[in-house]
Amino acid sequence: MKAVHFGAGNIGRGFVGELLHESGYEVVFADVAEALIDALDAADSYTVTEIGEGGRTTVVTDFRAINSRTDEARLVDEIATADVVTTAVGPRVLPFVAPVIARGIERRIEIGQDAIDGGRIAVFACENAINATDILEADVRAALPEADADRLDAVAAFANTAIDRIVPAQAPDAGLDVVLEPFHEWVIDRTPFDGNPPQIVGVHWVDDLAPFIERKLFTVNTGHATAAYHGFARGIHSITDAITDPAIRAEVEAAIGETRSLLVAKFGLDEEEQAAYGRKIMGRLSNPELPDTVERVGRGPLRKLSRAERFIGPAAQLAERGLPRDALLRAIADALRFDVPDDAESVELQRILREEEPDGAVTVITGIEPAHPLFADLLEVFRARTR
């Protein structure tokens, strides 16, 4: 079995790549980072070490690497004969990897690979975004010739997925090795596979993915980013120091308490089970053996403040239901103060706040229109930031 994975970073190597390796796949990593690809090409193995209670060490072997910028033809051939394609590149990069996946599917049809063993290639976008695989599928379909686009459902199965694992900043001398937390969750929608999904160790297959996607994004990612932005606003450097500060910890607990109320109301989830999940997340975020910085966790604030993301997504739905969202609004307020010169999105965020009127900035940054019940709350937050 063979899997092609886009994104050879820490999540790609330490989480997705490791589980694919354990499942018996040869993994072909694709990335545009030349030094990283060269290092993978020169290595026979790398080590994934779980830090914390129950942690273990895994040596990953049987992989290759391709520079997706300079060796696209070889990558297309690898996709054409692959069983699985995965990504961990960031949601905004998906449109850039879709064309080469489309070319791989075209090649798969040309060589008749789609007629072998059922022939369908499984595609999973393992991103911190709601229904990221749907986005990837739409981009792939748009890149295909019309005849192949019409056949896409017969030759490829695109399934949405939710992934959850904390991978902190790595030591400067770590090389290819990855250190991460023992906990992990990879949930995939089984419905595109007609009862015969690919065999991947550690995957939880479900018929309804929506609760898992939003539970993870609106608890883990909301909590992590809340700690980062409150910590940054208070001059705290590390996530551990931020989450153990009593005032910030209370803010994080309040924020995920609000998202919990949304998840319970929306999906009918059990209140106490979700409270226990939240307590578990707080323990994970507080793990002192996984050091990280508020700047790294907070980077990319424009994406994190966008319409369907970890703050605006739940706050908007809470506003629509008339439920409290005060803690989320306080986190948003401190996110607007995230000013890091070497983070491009931070620079753009501050430019928008300087140059736009508050009512325009609300819609540009969050996607919330004036008629929405959250708009007035956000306008107050934005006005306070620009005073």
264 is in an annotated binding site: no
12 is in an annotated binding site: yes
Q: What is the span of the domain harbouring residue 287?
A: 214-386
Residues 223 and 197 both lie in one domain:
no
3 is in an annotated binding site: yes
Looking at the chain, which runs of residues are DSSP E strands?
2-6, 26-31, 46-50, 57-60, 63-67, 84-87, 121-125, 156-158, 161-164, 178-180, 185-189, 203-206
- 111-120 long-range Cβ contacts below 8 angstroms, 24+ apart: 111/80, 111/81, 113/80, 113/81, 114/151, 114/154, 114/155, 118/196, 119/154, 119/155, 120/154, 120/155, 120/156, 120/157
Place 114 in a pLDDT band, splitting at 50, 70 and 90.
low
pLDDT digits (tens, 9 = 90+) for 247-274: 999 999 999 999 999 999 999 999 999 9
The answer on pLDDT for 164 being more than 80 is yes
Q: Give the least confident one: 291-295, 298-302, 316-320, 349-353.
A: 291-295
310 is in an annotated binding site: no
Query: Which pTM does this prediction carry?
Result: 0.86
SS3 59: strand
pLDDT digits (tens, 9 = 90+) for 21-49: 999 999 999 999 999 999 999 999 999 99
Average pLDDT on 336-356 reads 97
> How many folded domains does the chain comprise?
2
What size, in residues, is the chain?
387
- Tell me which of 163, 188, 207 is where a domain ends: 207
298 is in an annotated binding site: no
What pLDDT is recorded for position 148? Answer: 86
Query: For the domain that residue 104 is a member of, what is the CATH number?
Result: 3.40.50.720
Place 117 in a pLDDT band, splitting at 50, 70 and 90.
low
Residue type for position 94? L
Query: For the domain that residue 293 is a member of, what is the CATH number?
Result: 1.10.1040.10
Residues 45 and 146 both lie in one domain:
yes
- How far is 285 from 309, CA to CA, in rounded Å? 19
9 is in an annotated binding site: yes
Residues 243 and 168 both lie in one domain:
no
